[in-house]
């Protein structure tokens, strides 16, 4: 499985350098590190699927002595590694550009939301081609605009308030519960992706 993880990291080498450079630019402009971290993490782990499809890697992997469970599990490990890498880069970048240590709660929120998004996106990528992800994103954005316009006009304010509540909370129990829920969702997502990939004809 280490070879599978290494393969994804090597394929992403150029993308990693470009995104980390872009991350530095955003941090220098003092853009919200939480949302930047989430977006950059999502771009990295979804790009691994696009690269695999371009090079017909799935067909090759299934001709090698790897089980489909190992192939899927490696993707979930890589998604977590990329998220941790982005969080670490934000921590170092914030220290370099602003001379301050980013609160650990911000790092926690980046990782929690990015992995929650991965729990939804990765099964989608295994069920459909990654190109459909763009269509799904457009549809989701359209639904979001409809909700904000007609159902919950102050949704953005509520999200902001929820974020502030989480970041200002001193309850260790809250963060432990959130971490446990995210990990349970991530594991369930992995099991779902394994089932989808096992039944997929390549």
- Residue spans of the domains in the chain: they are 2-198
Rounded to an integer, the average pLDDT of 4-17 is 76
DSSP 91-149: HHHHHHHHSSPPPHHHHHHHHHHHHHHHHHHHHHHHHS-THHHHHHHHHHHHHHHHIII
In this prediction the pTM is 0.82
The residue among 122, 119, 111, 134 whose CA lies nearest residue 48 is 122
User: Which residue has tokens 């763009």?
Assistant: 134
Buried b / exposed e across 135-174, counting CB within 10 Å, b at 16+? eeeeeeeeeeeeeeeeeeeeeeeeeeeebeebeeeeeeee
pLDDT exceeds cutoff 80 at 187? yes
Could you read off the pLDDT of 73-102 as tens digits, one per residue? 989 999 999 999 889 888 888 887 777 788
Q: What is the pLDDT of residue 159?
A: 73
pLDDT exceeds cutoff 70 at 144? no
Instruction: Please indicate whether residue 138 or residue 103 has the higher confidence score (pLDDT).
Output: 103
pLDDT exceeds cutoff 60 at 8? yes
């Amino acid at each position: 499985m280490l070879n599978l993880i290494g393969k994804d990291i090597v394929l992403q080498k150029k993308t990693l350098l470009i995104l980390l450079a872009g991350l530095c630019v955003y941090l220098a402009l003092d853009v919200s590190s939480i949302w930047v971290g989430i977006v950059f993490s999502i771009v990295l782990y979804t790009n691994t699927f696009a690269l695999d499809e371009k090079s017909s890697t799935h067909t090759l992997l299934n001709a090698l002595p790897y089980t489909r469970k190992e192939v899927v599990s490696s993707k979930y490990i890589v998604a977590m590694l990329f998220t941790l890498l982005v969080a670490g880069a934000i921590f170092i970048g914030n220290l370099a550009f602003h001379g301050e240590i980013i609160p650990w709660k911000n790092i926690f929120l980046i990782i929690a939301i990015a992995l929650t998004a991965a729990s939804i996106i990765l099964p989608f990528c295994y069920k459909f081609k990654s190109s459909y992800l763009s269509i799904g994103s457009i549809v989701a954005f359209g639904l979001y605009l409809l909700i904000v316009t007609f159902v919950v006009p102050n949704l953005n304010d509520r999200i902001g308030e929820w974020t502030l509540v989480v970041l200002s909370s001193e309850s260790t129990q809250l963060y432990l519960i959130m971490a446990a829920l995210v990990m349970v969702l991530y594991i369930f997502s992995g099991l779902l992706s394994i089932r989808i990939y096992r039944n997929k004809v390549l």
